[in-house]
């Protein structure tokens, strides 16, 4: 039997080529050799306030993007997280095995809340501690606890491999920890998953700041190239992207802006970055930008042709079929979990 992979993405904001390179493209490749489940994690999205109509709209848009990128419903199950209620049931059970210390050390919680339980020195004076306590009390429980829901997403399907960005590896580690705890207490029940990070091109950086990851929530639209940007707009963004000093096209850490542009080129053309760099020997940054802008425009044209060819009705049918398949797997797993926990059937 093929090993199973599971991965998901939140229906929030415009997806960009960094999301495509860090996740979607890898999923398209992995569905050829794995039993694949891909999920739109709308339950994770509501850890911050959502407009209901916008959430529905974006969920459908993200599903179309999965399909436009090459996710094949004949090879993969594509579904919405909230359509499979076992996700929340298992999350609650895993909560009973999770310690506060497991969650306070999560880097994303620290970044989003601004609170660092690991650094006691930051508490400071009594007055500072009171302010710190006030800020902590204002943070939503969902933000604190959502790594447990992510663990449930993964463990529910006996997932062997989790394709993630490197900023999510810590959350997969929590899933591994909780699987071991459950297995040790109640008997072998869950597969202990492994994370799989796409190394080359996994972290596409901002076009306006190559020291920070490309972000759909960036203040400037010239930070990212959205998958639904008009092709000419994508071309323009590449031409306006920052570059490093000098003029030689080389792939070096000392030239982060140039390295980022070469990573994008490699991502879109499936050509190793060293080969791309060699093809520009004797040429300058302007030559690279012109060639890359053509590549970006061509990619966006192809992607959007696939995207706009999909109807809402067809996409909903795909997601319903995916949820049916996911629910079959999840319900069988939860029968085992309930029995081993001691719940009456």
Same domain, 330 and 235: no
CB 203 within 8 A of CB 259: no
Same domain, 121 and 238: no
Burial group, residue 3, by CB count within 10 angstroms (0-12, 13-18, 19+):
middle
Average pLDDT over residues 229-244: 97
The CATH number given to whatever domain includes residue 125 is: 3.40.50.620
- At 240 the pLDDT is 96
Same domain, 64 and 142: yes
- At 132 the pLDDT is 72
Tokens of 47: 């850890």
Q: In this model, does residue 202 exceed pLDDT 60?
A: no
- At 122 the pLDDT is 61
Same domain, 155 and 169: yes
Answer with the residue of higher pLDDT: 304 or 133: 304
What tens digit of pLDDT does each residue of 142-195 get?
Answer: 988 999 999 999 999 999 999 887 778 999 999 999 999 999 999 999 999 999
The mean pLDDT value of the chain amounts to: 91
Same domain, 301 and 318: no
**Rounded CA gap, 14 and 16, in Å?**
6
**Rounded CA gap, 217 and 166, in Å?**
19
What tens digit of pLDDT does each residue of 310-319 get?
Answer: 999 999 999 9
Q: Name 167's Cβ contacts closer than 8 Å, sequence gap at least 6.
A: 107, 108, 213
As a whole number of Å, the CA-based R_g of the chain is: 22
**Tokens 């006691």, residue located:** 120
Q: Looking at the annotation, which residues are catalytic?
A: 112, 213, 216
**Rounded CA gap, 115 and 93, in Å?**
26
Average pLDDT over residues 249-267: 94
Q: Which of 14-18, 69-73, 98-102, 116-120 has the lowest mean pLDDT?
A: 116-120
Q: What is the pTM of this model?
A: 0.87
- At 124 the pLDDT is 63
- At 39 the pLDDT is 96
Same domain, 166 and 38: yes
Q: In this model, does residue 199 exceed pLDDT 60?
A: no
With respect to residue 20, please indicate whether it lies within any of the assigned structural domains: yes
Q: Name 195's Cβ contacts closer than 8 Å, sequence gap at least 6.
A: 161, 162, 163, 164, 168, 169, 172, 173
What tens digit of pLDDT does each residue of 65-97 get?
Answer: 999 999 999 999 999 999 999 999 999 999 999
Burial group, residue 242, by CB count within 10 angstroms (0-12, 13-18, 19+):
middle
Question: SS3 of 195, please?
Answer: strand
Percent of the chain with pLDDT strictly greater than 90: 75
Q: Which of 75-89, 102-116, 296-310, 315-329 has the lowest mean pLDDT?
A: 102-116
- At 288 the pLDDT is 97
The domain containing residue 271 runs over which residues? 221-307
Q: What is the domain count for the chain?
A: 2
- At 125 the pLDDT is 63
Same domain, 98 and 237: no
Same domain, 181 and 286: no
**Tokens 């306030």, residue located:** 49
Average pLDDT over residues 53-64: 96
Same domain, 128 and 53: yes
With respect to residue 216, please indicate whether it lies within any of the assigned structural domains: no
């Amino acid at each position: 039997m093929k090993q199973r992979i599971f991965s998901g993405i939140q229906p929030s904001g415009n997806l960009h080529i960094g999301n495509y390179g860090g996740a979607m493209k890898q999923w398209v490749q992995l569905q050829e050799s794995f039993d694949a489940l891909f999920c739109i994690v709308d339950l994770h999205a509501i850890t911050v306030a959502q407009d209901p109509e916008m959430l529905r709209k974006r969920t459908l848009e993200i599903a179309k993007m999965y399909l436009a990128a090459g996710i094949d419903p004949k090879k993969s199950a594509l579904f919405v997280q909230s359509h499979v209620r076992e996700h929340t049931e298992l999350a609650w059970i895993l909560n009973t095995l999770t310690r506060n210390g497991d969650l306070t050390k999560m880097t994303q919680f620290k970044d989003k809340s601004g609170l660092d339980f690991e650094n006691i020195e930051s508490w400071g004076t009594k007055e500072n501690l009171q302010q710190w306590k006030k800020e902590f009390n204002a943070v939503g429980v969902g933000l604190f606890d959502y790594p447990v829901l992510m663990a449930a997403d993964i463990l529910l399907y006996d997932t062997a491999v989790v394709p993630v960005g490197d900023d999510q590896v810590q959350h997969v580690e929590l899933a591994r920890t909780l699987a071991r705890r459950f297995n040790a207490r109640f008997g072998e029940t869950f597969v202990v998953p492994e994370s799989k990070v796409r190394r080359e091109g996994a972290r596409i950086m901002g076009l306006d700041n190559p020291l920070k990851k490309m972000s759909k929530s960036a203040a400037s639209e010239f930070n990212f190239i959205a998958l639904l940007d008009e092709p000419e707009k994508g071309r323009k963004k590449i031409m306006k992207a920052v570059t490093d000093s000098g003029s030689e096209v080389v792939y070096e850490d000392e030239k982060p802006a140039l390295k980022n542009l070469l990573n994008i080129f490699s991502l879109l053309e499936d050509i190793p970055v060293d080969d791309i760099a060699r093809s520009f020997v004797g040429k300058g940054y302007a030559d690279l930008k012109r060639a890359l802008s053509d590549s970006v425009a061509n990619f966006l044209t192809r992607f959007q042709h696939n995207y706009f060819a999909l109807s809402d009705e067809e996409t909903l049918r795909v997601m319903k079929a995916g949820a049916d398949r996911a629910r079959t797997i999840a319900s069988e797993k939860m029968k085992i979990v309930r029995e081993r926990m001691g719940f009456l059937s």
